[in-house]
Structure 1
C-alpha cells in the first residue's frame, strides 16, 4: 500500500465500530424478547459486543414502550428482537483514536451512525 492509501487510525477505528454494529445486529436480530427478558437481553448483548477487540463500552437500551406496544398487538407474550426495539451506543478505541457510534430509530429504520471521532491524526 502506498502511504496515501494506508488507512489512518481514525479510519480503522470507524471500521472496527462498523464491525461491532454488524455483529450486534445480525447476531441478536430474531432473538425472542419479552418485557421481562428485555433487561437481561440488553445486558447480554452489551457484554457480548464488549468482548470484541478495541471495544471500550457498549450501552444497550431496550425501547420498552415500543416493545410493549408490539406485544399488545401480537398473539404471544414475546416477540422477535429487531432494531426498532433498541437504542445502542458503542465506543471503540483504536490506537488512541476513539469513535462513538449510535443506533437509533430514524424514520422507521434502525439507523447506525458515526457520532464522534476523537484523536484524529
Structure 2
C-alpha cells in the first residue's frame, strides 16, 4: 500500500473514483466562476479549465462547454456563472471509471453536480 492509499483506506475503489471526480468538479466550480469571459476568450478559457483539472489525481478526461447566451456588460464581457457551464469529468481509480457531471437544470434553477455513471472496466 502506498502512503497515499493509507489516507483513503476507508473507501472502496468505486467510492474513490467518485471522490476524485467530485472533488475536482467542486474545485473547478469554485475556481472559475466569476472569471471574465466573452466570445474572444471563450475557447482559451475552456482549454485552461480542461487542462488544469486534468492535472488532478485520477482524472482521465474533462469536457467543458460554456453557454454564452447572456448580454455582455458595458466592458464587453460577462462573469462566468454556474448556469453557463456544462462539464463532464471522467475519473478513474484502478478499474473503476466514474463520470461526474455539472449542468444547469432549469426546473431546479441550479447548476447541479451529480454522478452520471460509474462502471467497472
Note the aligned Cα RMSD (angstroms): 1.6
**What's the counterpart of residue 52 of structure 1?**
56
Deviations 1:87-111 (A, max 9, x none): 1000000111100111111032111
Query: 2:91 matched to 1:92?
Result: yes
**What's the counterpart of residue 119 of structure 1?**
120
Task: Compare the two structures and name the one with the higher helix fraction.
Answer: 1
SS at match of 1:14: helix
**What's the counterpart of residue 104 of structure 1?**
103
| Stretches of structure 1 lacking an aligned partner (at least 5 in a row) | none
**What's the counterpart of residue 6 of structure 2?**
none
User: Matches of 1:84 and 1:35 in 2, distance apart?
Assistant: 17
Q: TM-score, normalised to structure 2's length?
A: 0.85
User: Matches of 2:79 and 2:62 in 1, distance apart?
Assistant: 21
Displacement of 1:84: 1.2
Q: How many residues align?
A: 111
Moved over 2 A (4+): none
SS at match of 2:92: strand
Q: TM-score, normalised to structure 1's length?
A: 0.85
